Amino acid sequence: MNLLISIVIIAVLVLLIIRYLISIYNKIVMLNNYVEKAFANIDVLLKQRANEIPELINIAETAMAHQSELFLQLAQMRSRYLNSRQSEQKVRLANQTDHLLKQILMIAEGYPELTALHNLTELQKRLTQLENKIADRREFFNESITLYNVGIQAFPNIIFAKLLGYHTKSLLNISVGEKEYAGITL
């Protein structure tokens, strides 16, 4: 009788431990999926912005022919972004594209014949709206990353996470140039 009670107690403890490990695994998977979803939301907006770039180049290129190097860099950056498969590389390319776009738009403001064009004004508005949406999604992405990192670094989750190959992920950091950016004036 005592042996049967001992076996039942051990079986219950084993089942509780297995259930606990399954809940840890499910939590890690859920947090990882939130991170992937948050990045996918950013990626959608970055692709929309990348689709606006050819129009910006067409509108501004004629009046700013001497800035052709910037347009070439922007087109190359767009192509590399669209062909990239890794999220960290996409983030780096998106940040570089941000910087180039802002340079071009600031230079375009110095050309009255360009700023008078309705197409450029509308494009600037669309790009500004996209940038605002991207900023909101970056904030959500960083919150998701923070929850994920805390989730896999908490004890005993860290043991299970390491066994399954989960590692901490990097936050989307804003460059010094982005922090100093004053916006697009129309």
Q: What is the pLDDT of residue 114?
A: 56
Counting the structural domains of the chain, the total is 1
pLDDT average, residue stretch 64-79: 69
Round the CA-based radius of gyration of the chain to a whole number and report it: 25
Does the structure show a pLDDT above 70 at 118?
no
Environment class of 138 (CB within 10 Å of its CB; exposed 0-12, middle 13-18, buried 19+): buried
Distance CA 104, CA 68 (A): 10
CATH of the domain at 169: 1.20.1440.20
3 lies in a domain? no
Is 15 a domain residue?
no
Mean pLDDT, the chain, integer: 78
Q: Is this prediction's pTM over 0.85?
A: no
The pLDDT value recorded for residue 147 is: 92
Distance CA 84, CA 81 (A): 5
130 part of a folded domain: yes
Domain coverage including residue 60: 31-180
What gap in Å lies between CA 85 and CA 93, rounded to an integer? 12
Residue 9 inside a domain? The answer is no
Structure tokens of 41? 């939301």
The rounded distance, in Å, linking the Cα atoms of 136 and 102 is 18
Question: Look-up: residue for tokens 């991170």?
Answer: 35
Q: What is the largest CA-CA distance in the chain?
A: 95
Residues whose CB is less than 8 angstroms from the CB of residue 94 and which lie 6 or more positions away in sequence, other chains included = 42, 46, 81
Residue 106 lies in a domain: yes
**Confidence (pLDDT) at 11:** 94
| Residue 108, Cβ density class (10 Å: 0-12 exposed, 13-18 middle, ≥19 buried) | buried
User: Could you read off the pLDDT of 24-57 as tens digits, one per residue?
Assistant: 999 999 999 999 998 888 888 888 877 777 776 6
In contact, 97 and 175? CB cutoff 8 Å: no
